[in-house]
């Protein structure tokens, strides 16, 4: 019997990067997994195939995390296809960088819509489906606690909002035995932040372990928080950052 056998999970932004790794890690532990995607339909289909190869049920649902109706539909659809919902992972996110002086209003709105309103609305949509033992796991950023380059200010600000969302939701849902936690990745090798990218050496210089994380490193933390063994952990922040915040 695997730790997540019989559990049903939805991972937003599961078509690539950290979300893909989370979806696969949950399936590896026995969960059935739906993912959302926006632009990467082919990648999403590959993730579904990989989950099915593990013998789990899987679905990919197109849903722009900036669109409230699409979010509501994706959560209800995931619960319908999987026969319920036990785990929500709010992973979908975008990064846009600029100085505050030059930040375009539409970029600020896009960051707030996807990175802040998206997780709030996905959680709101998931709450009626979740029962005792349920999990909401948000994906923030170590940058919420340490600004790495001023042009990241607005992006990091959206991630610090998830700290309050996590703590408040943990209080709201605790009486129903539903835990809510925040995983904060540090520099992690994905399309968003490749380990061979322009600022990668600078980022590595800030990390005591001296290396980028891989998506699987973040996924391992998320998968643990999803298991019954983590039932007493709620409202907490788990950094997966190679020690960057020490
Ligand atoms: P990627 O850019 O590599 O992947 C982003 C994922 O989110 C894709 O699956 C993408 O789907 C999805 N996504 C983006 N916008 C939307 C949208 N509007 N609606 C639905 N899905 C969307 O990013 P990472 O994997 O690196 O990041 C995952 C999370 O981790 C994000 O929240 C990010 O902020 C956070 N993070 C990442 C760090 C890093 O160093 N990589 C560090 C700290 C935090 P599609 O391609 O289908 O549009």
**pLDDT tens digits, one per residue of 90-134:** 999 999 999 999 999 999 999 999 999 999 999 999 999 999 999
Domain count, the chain: 1
- pLDDT 10s digits, 201-233: 999 999 999 999 999 999 999 999 999 999 999
Q: What is the C-alpha to C-alpha distance for residues 87 and 164, in angstroms, rounded to an integer?
A: 20
Please report whether residue 246 resides in a domain: no
Kindly state if the Cβ of 241 falls inside 6 Å of ligand 1. no
Please report whether residue 1 resides in a domain: no
Instruction: Report the pLDDT averaged over residues 139-162.
Output: 97
Q: What is the ipTM of this complex?
A: 0.99
User: What's the CATH number where 111 sits?
Assistant: 3.40.50.720
> Nearest Cα to 18, choosing from 154, 179, 133, 185?
185
Q: Which residue has the tokens 């699987």?
A: 216
Kindly state if the Cβ of 64 falls inside 6 Å of ligand 1. yes
Please report whether residue 60 resides in a domain: yes
- pLDDT 10s digits, 154-207: 999 999 999 999 999 999 999 999 999 999 999 999 999 999 999 999 999 999
Q: Please give the structure tokens belonging to residue 180.
A: 């809510």
Kindly state if the Cβ of 187 falls inside 6 Å of ligand 1. yes
Q: What is the C-alpha to C-alpha distance for residues 174 and 130, in angstroms, rounded to an integer?
A: 12
Q: What is the C-alpha to C-alpha distance for residues 222 and 219, in angstroms, rounded to an integer?
A: 5
Print the domain residue range for 79: 8-240
Candidate of 90, 192, 200, 238 to mutate for ligand 1, largest count of ligand atoms within 8 Å of Cβ: 192
202 is catalytic: no
pLDDT at 63: 99
pLDDT at 1: 77
Please report whether residue 75 resides in a domain: yes
> Nearest Cα to 7, choosing from 122, 135, 179?
135
Kindly state if the Cβ of 217 falls inside 6 Å of ligand 1. no
Please check whether residue 187 is in contact with residue 213, taking contact to mean a CB–CB distance below 8 angstroms. Answer: yes
Instruction: Report the pLDDT averaged over residues 62-79.
Output: 99
Candidate of 11, 18, 94, 191 to mutate for ligand 1, largest count of ligand atoms within 8 Å of Cβ: 18
Please report whether residue 3 resides in a domain: no
């Amino acid at each position: 019997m695997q730790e997540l056998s019989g559990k049903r999970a939805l991972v937003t932004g599961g078509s690539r990067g950290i979300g893909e790794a989370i979806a696969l890690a949950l399936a590896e532990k026995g969960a059935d997994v739906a993912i959302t995607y926006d632009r990467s339909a082919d990648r999403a289909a590959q993730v579904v195939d990989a989950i099915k190869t593990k013998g789990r049920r899987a679905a990919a649902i197109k849903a722009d995390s900036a669109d409230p109706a699409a979010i509501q539909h994706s959560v209800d659809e995931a619960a319908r296809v999987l026969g319920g919902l036990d785990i929500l992972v709010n992973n979908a996110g975008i990064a846009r960088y600029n100085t505050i002086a030059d930040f375009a209003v539409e970029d600020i709105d896009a960051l707030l819509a996807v990175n802040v309103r998206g997780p709030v609305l996905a959680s709101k949509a998931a709450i009626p489906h979740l029962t005792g033992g349920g999990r909401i796991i948000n994906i923030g950023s170590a940058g919420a606690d340490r600004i790495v380059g001023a042009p990241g200010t607005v992006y990091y600000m959206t991630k610090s909002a998830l700290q309050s969302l996590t703590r408040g939701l943990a209080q709201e849902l605790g009486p129903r035995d539903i835990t809510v936690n925040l995983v904060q990745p540090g520099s992690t090798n994905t399309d968003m932040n490749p380990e061979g990218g322009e600022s990668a050496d600078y980022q590595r210089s800030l990390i005591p372990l001296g290396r980028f994380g891989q998506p699987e490193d973040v996924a391992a933390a998320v998968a643990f928080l999803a298991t019954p063994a983590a039932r007493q952990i709620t409202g907490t922040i788990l950094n997966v950052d190679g020690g960057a915040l020490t």
